[in-house]
Amino acid sequence: MAPGPDLLLQMYAGMLRVRLFEERVRELFANGRLPGFLHTSIGQEACAVGACAALRADDYVLSTHRGHGHLIAKGGALRGLMAELYGKANGVCHGKGGSMHLADASVNYLGANGVLAAGCVLAPGVGLSIKRRGSAQVVVTFFGDGAANRGPFHEGVNLAAVWTLPVVFFCENNRWASSTASSLSAAGGSIAARAAGYGIPGETVDGNDVLAVWEATTRAVLRARRGEGPSLIEARTIRWVGHFEGDAQAYRTKAEVEEGRRTDPLARLGRLLEARQLLDAAHAGRIRAGVVAEIDDAVAHAETSPLPAPQDALADLFASYPWSR
Amino acid sequence: MAPGPDLLLQMYAGMLRVRLFEERVRELFANGRLPGFLHTSIGQEACAVGACAALRADDYVLSTHRGHGHLIAKGGALRGLMAELYGKANGVCHGKGGSMHLADASVNYLGANGVLAAGCVLAPGVGLSIKRRGSAQVVVTFFGDGAANRGPFHEGVNLAAVWTLPVVFFCENNRWASSTASSLSAAGGSIAARAAGYGIPGETVDGNDVLAVWEATTRAVLRARRGEGPSLIEARTIRWVGHFEGDAQAYRTKAEVEEGRRTDPLARLGRLLEARQLLDAAHAGRIRAGVVAEIDDAVAHAETSPLPAPQDALADLFASYPWSR
Amino acid sequence: MGDALNLALREEMRRDPRVYCIGEDIVLGLPFGVTKGLVDEFGPERVLNAPISEAAIVGSAMGAAVTGLVPVVDMHFADFVTCAMDEVVNQIAKSRYMFGGQLDCPLTLRMPYGIGRSGGGHHSNSVEAWFVNTPGLKVCIPSTPADARGLLKTAIRDPDPVLVFEHRGLYRVTGEVPEAETPVPLGAADVKRPGRDVTVIATARMVHASLEAARRLAEEGVEVEVVDPRSLVPLDREALALSVRRTHRAVIAEEGPMRASVGAWLAWVIMEDCFDDLDAPIVRVAAPDVPIPFSPPLEGFVTPDADDVVAAVRQTLK
Amino acid sequence: MGDALNLALREEMRRDPRVYCIGEDIVLGLPFGVTKGLVDEFGPERVLNAPISEAAIVGSAMGAAVTGLVPVVDMHFADFVTCAMDEVVNQIAKSRYMFGGQLDCPLTLRMPYGIGRSGGGHHSNSVEAWFVNTPGLKVCIPSTPADARGLLKTAIRDPDPVLVFEHRGLYRVTGEVPEAETPVPLGAADVKRPGRDVTVIATARMVHASLEAARRLAEEGVEVEVVDPRSLVPLDREALALSVRRTHRAVIAEEGPMRASVGAWLAWVIMEDCFDDLDAPIVRVAAPDVPIPFSPPLEGFVTPDADDVVAAVRQTLK
Ligand SMILES: Cc1ncc(C[n+]2csc(CCOP(=O)(O)OP(=O)(O)O)c2C)c(N)n1
Ligand SMILES: Cc1ncc(C[n+]2csc(CCOP(=O)(O)OP(=O)(O)O)c2C)c(N)n1
Ligand SMILES: [Mg+2]
Ligand SMILES: [Mg+2]
């Protein structure tokens, strides 16, 4: 199983899009343009992009508090996302969600989540409706190494396994849950190893190698499409930046971040593409320029879009109105 | 590791005490003497008795909705228990708890539980306080095969493992969660196998063999006392009666109950004791007579004890009063 | 009322193939018989016995609801919703709003609840107040078989999440159920007994206790009007106000505890809408603020009943 | 207020070696700095960074509390108590009662909560009503550094479980904190500003909004009395009634939603205690019944503020 040239280039562009988007929102946040809390996925792009590259457009994704990358990789429009981060009226959730609480139904991205591991129990239900339709779709639910210690991980994996549902449980293990080391909070030292207890495949991959991620996810996805049930993937990666913007990171060494930069998934794929003569500096420059233009456009769009009217806070509660009582 | 004659006889009497107690409360329930819901552990006595025989008096037990056996095996007085099942004022919880919600602090039985698997997360805290005291006590938390599918199982085992706490997770797998087969609800088919994912020992034992249960628990308890952390034991057993009193058991075959009776843990230990010439019919008769007398006494005590005064419903809420506001 | 709920489930499952039931032991219809026999008509694909995994049961229902199915979740005992609290209040309740209306979440949570038969501390609680306090959920609470059938049907058809609180002491209550399929709309209170002297606003089992109280008080010449809101969110404020404006006196009867409960809120609603019409303070009937004890005399003491309603009505007339 | 809470933790940890803190990222004092530096004085044995396992964090705290330790749990955000709801309401709240008083459960749950800074749907909720509605828990809610320190100390010393709701918008609020260790008793309201015309009963951030409103109204000659209950369970009904009996008018201001909330209950309490003293209907200030939105104008719209209190006071004077 190996991705063809188009897919490789697509993944390269995809990772670059996530990287530059996240760098831009960090900048915008630092400049006070974005309200709320912000968690970016810089350094972890291979997870989102490798996993989503294994999906069809009609497959579903459930995401996390660190979810911009998943949405972008799933094909979400940058305009709607950026406007949402700005809290604008034409944000994908009309400004009601924000970074941690947004969804984009148009690409079957069923939601970031402010509650860790919540997606693990939503996923089996998505799998159930897929199974009932017989549509051979799959759902990927992302969660962190920290989240894997919550009960819903257990309940969701068990339910998906016992009902043979088309779910891929994708753990992005970036070594830390905020300031708490995974090694001090996940007993046994391996999330993937937990799969055996449920009789499903569990696999650890280098989460900084987009090909490895793509391959593992493709295996899991094909299995799910064949009706053979869920899989658990643990992708080991490194976040280059703070847990949230403003995090002083007193809990970890500079060496770790340097290790992250050394194993940069984007540069790594770039080198591979160059070695295969699929990419040269000029081409890379064009890709970058295209991505930058997209992001510039999204920022300009968001900057010039109106804020919601205050009383719109009362809209969107229920399908039918009035329900003020 | 083998129990001496005294312990064997003690376990025999213990199982008999549980068996006859449960049979009596079934009878009392059928005769309308006991309010509420009733779950008995007939057929499963080797689990409670084998496990508790491996404990010191100052060790702790956390129990379940099917908890009479655990309390009796831990040394709880039958009078307080029986009076509680009657809802009498001198029940061990003054009639406030009842079968599913009672505790007996005098023997460190920290509570039956109306919520499945709740004990799995209470246990690490008990372990924490033991560790802080350095008292080499342990805590055993019982739960069913059904309860093992709840999130607290995962969170509790993981926490106890990562903090190396003196906890024994004891799963009584009686094949059914109410009317739902364990095989259709626990993925992977083995609860014990889940231990590996947390890097702790997991062991399946014949839960109808009190010696096997005692041995496995003793291993786990010694490990915990040595400060090496938790273990998971899965004891396979069979409940002879309905899930609750009144359960028509349409979900299972008569053959299963017959299998249970064939593998009767009490008769099995009786045969072993006879073979070793530790027990003969006369001795067995004396033991039974003693247990029956104890139970008769508990029933008489409960029957003649007063019900609580209605307004006692307002007592015991907080340590200090008045808190009516 | 159990049969009426069973009928509603059958009717809705026949009408809409997307509807399915999920819960613990529901194939056999445990613990209260409401889902009994459904599996024979609809098969195990649509009547799902789940593992003991409340978070996954409720969470998966949302996952299914936002992707095209219409789940009806049986909570077994409402007490165990605590094991899926995040899924109900953070995921389900907020999914439409937080996501700017992109996702429908047509999901019904059936909540068997209430005091009775020495259920004890973990099997007797009235937790409806928490969900009335959680924006994004609709909440209803039937007292009769007809209302139960009609409200459950409406709940299942609603594009939003609806909690149906079913008092487990009412499953055996009988009453007329119309031949025709008659959904009861949310937000429509019902006058269960007309009367001119005092309005008693009561839910679920307390409706029956209030009717009993009304019968007794009628013998003394006091005409009590018993109004059943039937749905709490949305609430039919007009109907409640209309009654109180005529009687000038109100009693609010519920089975939950006193503090921060539905009854406290209804008292405020009446005060806001009818302050000038009230001739006496509103009197509340509710359980004292203690967990529900096991022993019959203790349980009896904390359970609000017809005597309590009679006393409350008398107090408003003082 | 954050520093005052930190001081209270230090004082109590010094006083009683059984006291320990547990939560997510509390060693570094994330997210709000309250536990910062404690590890340096008390070591990692007493300042425990737990895995992301709310049920186990809260459940284990109960296990520890009933066997001799005195845990102080940091919920990180009160929103996440939903992930440990069973542990709080079925286990912790009921342990003393159900077991007939056999077990002490001296446990404190610190609940950072509230709207602000575009926290969004899962990071802004006011959930205190659920716990006021749950018998067996004590609930307090400080508005000033001195109260925060005093109440947290009392909570830790209390043999029963106490929830301390700390509004995250108040952590940086400054104020005098007495030199001496002065625990604030539960069940003692505090008049934050005396006044003769209207009583405003307010909690946490709304105390500050109400004081601001009072200053503005004073310029128009309206003297508002701001009463802070400080603890909700137990509640100082006498103090509230005393004030309303003098002013004859009451406003109740909270940040939670309107329905089945603490404010609704307090309105009923006032009505019950002071019906004949009221010259106008009680007016409530609360958030509308929607989840808390992200975008600043939306968030601003749903956040009750001084303007709302001013308007409410005016309404009682109409
Ligand atoms: C249930 C829950 N508990 C706590 C938090 C607060 N919180 C947000 S992110 C985070 C760390 C998450 O770690 P991990 O799952 O490894 O994901 P990562 O941030 O590393 O991507 C914490 C504790 C939360 N959002 N939800
Ligand atoms: C959290 C929770 N969910 C559901 C129930 C209802 N219930 C009581 S016992 C039971 C079956 C339990 O099965 P298992 O854990 O295997 O224990 P067993 O009854 O076989 O001893 C169920 C579903 C409950 N008490 N608690
Ligand atoms: Mg992480
Ligand atoms: Mg079982």
Closest CA to C108 of C34, C206, C180: C34
In A144-233, alpha helices (H)? 151-162, 210-225
pLDDT at B321: 60
| Residues in chain B closer than 8 A to D86 (CB atoms) | 115, 118, 152
Nearest to D99 among B103, B122, B159 (CB): B103
Across C206-261, where does the E strand assignment appear? 224-228, 231-233, 250-257
Q: Both C138 and C263 in a single domain?
A: no
Pocket of ligand 2 (CB under 6 A): B 65-66, 114-116, 144-147, 172, 174, 176-178, 243; C 24, 52, 54, 76, 80, 83
CB contact under 8 A, D86 and C83: yes
- Residue D233 near chain C (CB below 8 Å): yes
Q: Both D76 and D202 in a single domain?
A: no
Q: Both C155 and C39 in a single domain?
A: yes
CA R_g for chain A: 19
- Main-chain phi, psi angles of B303, to 5 degrees: -60, -40
- Going by the DSSP 8-state scheme, the letter that residue B311 receives in this structure is G
Residue C182 — very low, low, confident or very high, per pLDDT cuts 50/70/90? confident
Q: Both C105 and C20 in a single domain?
A: yes
CB contact under 8 A, D262 and C260: yes
**Pocket flag, ligand 1, residue A152 (CB < 6 Å):** no
| Residue ranges of D 94-153 with Cβ closer than 8 A to chain B | 94-104, 135-136, 138
Report yes or no on D29 lying in a domain.
yes
Say yes or no to pLDDT of A210 above 90: yes
Nearest to B87 among C54, C119, C296 (CB): C296
Q: Both D223 and D278 in a single domain?
A: yes
Cα gap A132→C46, rounded to integer Å: 10
Minimum-distance ligand 1 atom for the alpha carbon of A118: 1
Query: Active site includes C76?
Result: no
**Pocket flag, ligand 1, residue A146 (CB < 6 Å):** yes
In a 10 Å sphere around its CB, with 0-12 CB exposed, 13-18 middle and 19+ buried, how is residue C80 labelled? Answer: buried
End-to-end Cα distance, chain B: 58
Calculate how close chain B gets to C219, using CA atoms only, in Å.
29
Say yes or no to pLDDT of B325 above 80: no
Q: Residue D54's closest chain C neighbor by CA?
A: C86
HSE-CB at A182 with a 13 A cutoff on CA atoms is: 19
CATH of the domain at C215: 3.40.50.920
| Residues in chain B closer than 8 A to C302 (CB atoms) | 313
- Residue C54 near chain B (CB below 8 Å): yes
A-D contacts at Cβ under 8 angstroms: 129
Task: Report chain A's mean pLDDT, rounded to a whole number.
Answer: 97
Domain limits of chain A? 5-308
Cα gap B320→D158, rounded to integer Å: 9
Q: Both C89 and C133 in a single domain?
A: yes
Q: To probe the interface with A, which of D32, D294, D303 has the most A CB atoms within 10 Å?
A: D294
Instruction: Provide CB contacts within 8 A for A2, sequence distance 6+.
Output: A211, A215
**Pocket flag, ligand 1, residue A144 (CB < 6 Å):** yes
Give tens-digit pLDDT for D31-78.
999 999 999 999 999 999 999 999 999 999 999 999 999 999 999 999
Q: Of D76, D122, D123, D248, which residue is the catalytic one?
A: D123
Nearest to B151 among D55, D100, D159 (CB): D55
pLDDT at C281: 95
Q: Both D122 and D197 in a single domain?
A: no
Q: Residue D90's closest chain C neighbor by CA?
A: C122
CATH of the domain at C35: 3.40.50.970
- Residue D53 near chain C (CB below 8 Å): no
**Pocket flag, ligand 1, residue A178 (CB < 6 Å):** yes
Q: Both D15 and D164 in a single domain?
A: yes
Cα gap D261→D269, rounded to integer Å: 13
CB contact under 8 A, A35 and D50: no
Give tens-digit pLDDT for B161-199.
999 999 999 999 999 999 999 999 999 999 999 999 999
| Whether the complex's predicted ipTM surpasses the cut of 0.85 | yes
pLDDT at D182: 87
| Residues in chain C closer than 8 A to B101 (CB atoms) | 120-122, 294
Q: Both C164 and C280 in a single domain?
A: no
Nearest protein CA to atom 9 of ligand 2, as residue: B178
Q: How far is the CA of D18 from the centre of ligand 2 (A)?
A: 34
Closest ligand to Cα B147:
2
Report yes or no on C116 lying in a domain.
yes
**Pocket flag, ligand 1, residue D80 (CB < 6 Å):** yes
CB contact under 8 A, C260 and D259: no
Cα gap C47→A281, rounded to integer Å: 59
Q: Residue C158's closest chain A neighbor by CA?
A: A319
CB contact under 8 A, C138 and A93: no
Mean pLDDT to the nearest integer, B142-153: 98
Give tens-digit pLDDT for A120-171.
999 999 999 999 999 999 999 999 999 999 999 999 999 999 999 999 999 9
Task: Ligand 2 pocket test: pick from B37, B40, B44, B65 the residue with the most ligand atoms within 8 Å of its Cβ.
Answer: B65
Closest CA to B142 of B242, B39, B240, B211: B39
Nearest to A187 among B185, B190, B199 (CB): B199
Q: How far is the CA of A112 from the centre of ligand 3 (A)?
A: 15
SS3 B139: strand
Cα gap B181→B174, rounded to integer Å: 9
* CB-CB contact of C71 with C58 (8 Å): no
Calculate how close chain A gets to C63, using CA atoms only, in Å.
4
Mean pLDDT to the nearest integer, C62-91: 98
Q: Residue B183's closest chain A neighbor by CA?
A: A162
Closest CA to D90 of C264, B119, B321, A155: B119
Instruction: Provide CB contacts within 8 A for D65, sequence distance 6+.
Output: B125, D71, D92, D104, D105, D106, D107, D161
Q: Both D194 and D153 in a single domain?
A: no
pLDDT at A321: 60
Task: Ligand 2 pocket test: pick from C22, C57, C76, C81 the residue with the most ligand atoms within 8 Å of its Cβ.
Answer: C76
Task: Ligand 1 pocket test: pick from A18, A65, A149, A180 the residue with the most ligand atoms within 8 Å of its Cβ.
Answer: A65
In the structure, ligand 3 is a single-atom ion and the residues with CB under 5 Å from it are A 144-146, 174, 177
Structure tokens, A209: 């190698």
Calculate how close chain B gets to D191, using CA atoms only, in Å.
19
Mean pLDDT to the nearest integer, A283-300: 98
Q: Residue A323's closest chain C neighbor by CA?
A: C234
- Main-chain phi, psi angles of B202, to 5 degrees: -130, 140
CATH topology of domain B5-308: Rossmann fold (3.40.50)
Structure tokens, A173: 């293990």
Say yes or no to pLDDT of C40 above 80: yes
Quote the number of domains for chain D.
2
pLDDT at B320: 78
In the structure, ligand 4 is a single-atom ion and the residues with CB under 5 Å from it are B 144-146, 174, 177
Place of tokens 């973990």: C122
Nearest protein CA to atom 17 of ligand 1, as residue: A144
Report yes or no on D182 lying in a domain.
no
Q: Both D157 and D301 in a single domain?
A: no
pLDDT at B308: 98
Mean pLDDT to the nearest integer, C69-98: 98
Give tens-digit pLDDT for A81-126.
999 999 999 999 999 999 999 999 999 999 999 999 999 999 999 9
Q: Of C123, C167, C208, C248, which residue is the catalytic one?
A: C123
Nearest protein CA to atom 13 of ligand 1, as residue: A177
Q: What percent of chain A has pLDDT over 70?
A: 98
Report yes or no on D255 lying in a domain.
yes
Q: What percent of chain B has pLDDT over 90?
A: 98
Domain that holds residue C115: 2-170
Report yes or no on C276 lying in a domain.
yes
Nearest protein CA to atom 9 of ligand 1, as residue: A178
| Residues in chain B closer than 8 A to A162 (CB atoms) | 184-187
Residue A265, preceding bond cis, omega within 30 degrees?
Answer: no
Q: Both D130 and D274 in a single domain?
A: no
Task: Report chain D's mean pLDDT, rounded to a whole number.
Answer: 97
CB contact under 8 A, A162 and B185: yes
- Going by the DSSP 8-state scheme, the letter that residue C191 receives in this structure is E
* CB-CB contact of A90 with A298 (8 Å): no
Say yes or no to pLDDT of C271 above 90: yes
Give tens-digit pLDDT for B246-264.
999 999 999 999 999 999 9
User: Interface partners of D (3+ CB pairs, < 8 Å)?
Assistant: A, B, C
- Residue D273 near chain A (CB below 8 Å): no
